[in-house]
Amino acid sequence: MKQMIVDFVRLLRSAGLTVTTMEAADALKAAEITGFSPVLLRGVLEATLVKSLWERPVFTALFDLYFDLASPAELTGTEPDLLIIKGATADGSGRSAAGAGGSAEQLLETIDSQPIAVLEALAREITASVQLDNAQPEEISGKLRQLQVKFSWFEAVNKIERSYVTQQITENAFQKWQKTFAQLKALLRRELERKAVSRFGRQHIVKLAEYANIRRREFDCLATAEIAAVEQEIAKLAKKLAERPGIRLRRAKSGTLDMRRTFQDVVRTGGWPLHLKYRDKVKSKVDLWLLCDVSNSVERFSRFMLQLVQAAHRRYANIRSFVFVDEAVEVTDWFKTQDVNAFLEARHLRERFNRRVGLSRYDLVFEQIARYESAAITARTKLIILGDGRNNWHPGGAEELAKLADRAQAVYWLNPLPADKWLEGDCLMQEYQRFCNQVFECRNLEQLTDVANRIL
């Protein structure tokens, strides 16, 4: 069992969790104290190895697939009796032999106020006859959706939402139903992943568990609850960046010995008299300009980016921020007193940066900045552009970006699209990246953290 725990720690690290040697040793010692009890093992390892909110789903997925322990119901020998759910038609219409909406109603009746043990058993029963062709996450997601259609899942969810909107159920009841649906969906996925590992081997565990890692999941694939978790992680990153001052070195009368300048003086004077040269750290005086695309195509990406924009305002003294769709609007003063949520709800701002054509127009924005703001761009200015580079089939305006690049110290571009999509459709990154010092693919939290630490 000790070797299994050591291998499990290696899997956690492969899946993106940071587990130190000391934490692994604590996990082994705690598990040994409990006699490696299957009932207590999950809690022991989670308490010693999991440190953040986002790590818990990854841990849970890996634990269930690696140890494949029996559920609490199986351990206690109390397998619950289940109601039989009648499936809907294959087209997802929700019409079965029970009549219109019968299957959705039966699904709701089956899962209403049921404990987790019943939901676990139900998930095993539903997935028992599913045949998998491979162990890829995409295959699991496809089979899960087929099961949801078969049992009128989406019709049931819609029925609960309508009941809430029409005030037939309370806020607490609605939240309870949302939690139940989320639990059952997670259990169905877990059972499908178990089948995949059982059939195709344990070498697929890390690949399957990565789906639960919100740090590696694309922003557009996050569920509502996961968005909140990502925002918490970005808030931590923003605080860390805000508290870490930008640093540069300057000549000083005391401080760290500057070996390069000291030897240059020795060569110039022949070593007599010997004058030691020093340097000291001072806060960077770099000017930071941020241009953030907030169009619908990058709505979720821009929400996270704006949190970093706000963090940059707390870190840099000289900073200017612009948001745009088809026209750039400066929001520097706004972020000094307001947060991101207030910005997203400010309709009068949206009308200002979205009043020309209503679609992303990088050419118009670059032209606007080059014409009216370029005089303020100096050799100390870092220009960071946040957007997908899609210009809706209009000329790119790269010559205007070139003018900005000539005046700035550096131009960086953060793009939420996969790099292999930069040459497709109306994306003009091939044209723009010639005038950028670096272009970063920024599709998930892990990439965003790496880029932010490098350039902010």
Residue 228 lies inside a defined structural domain of this protein = no
3-class SS of residue 414: strand
Q: CA distances (Å), 261 to each of 257, 279, 280, 447, in order? A: 9, 10, 13, 38
**Which DSSP state fits 234?**
H
Claim to verify: residue 293 and residue 395 sit in the same structural domain: yes
Q: CA-to-CA distance for 453 and 182, rounded, in angstroms?
A: 34
Is 240 part of any domain?
Answer: no
Residue given tokens 């995949």 in the structure block = 196
**Total number of domains in the chain:** 4
Contact, 422 vs 415, CB < 8 A? Answer: yes
Domain end call among 41, 69, 97: 69
Instruction: Give the C-alpha distances (Å, rounded to integers) separating 368 from 329, 331, 335, 373, 400.
Output: 10, 15, 22, 8, 9
Q: Walk along the chain (456 residues) and give the pLDDT tens digit of each residue.
A: 888 898 888 888 888 888 899 999 999 999 999 888 888 888 999 999 988 877 888 888 788 878 864 444 444 444 444 444 433 333 444 433 333 334 788 889 889 888 888 888 898 889 988 888 888 888 888 899 899 988 889 899 889 988 988 888 888 888 899 889 988 988 898 888 888 888 887 777 777 776 777 788 888 777 776 777 788 887 777 777 666 555 555 666 777 788 888 888 777 777 677 778 777 655 555 678 989 898 877 877 887 888 777 777 766 667 888 988 888 888 888 777 777 767 666 655 555 555 555 688 999 999 999 999 989 998 889 999 999 999 989 999 999 999 999 999 999 999 999 898 898 889 999 999 999 999 999 988 888 888 888 876
Contact 28, 18 (CB under 8 A): no
- Residue 324: phi and psi, rounded to 5, are -155, 155
- The predicted pLDDT at position 222 comes to 78
Kindly state whether residues 253 and 345 are assigned to the same domain.
no
* Pairing status of strand 319-324 against strand 287-293: parallel
Residues 150 and 296 reside in one and the same domain = no
CB–CB of 296/270 below 8 Å? no
Task: Looking at the structure, tell me whether residues 376 and 438 fall in a common domain.
Answer: yes
pTM for the model stands at 0.64
Q: Is residue 232 part of a domain?
A: no
Q: Are residues 97 and 125 in the same domain?
A: yes
Together in a domain, 174 and 105: yes
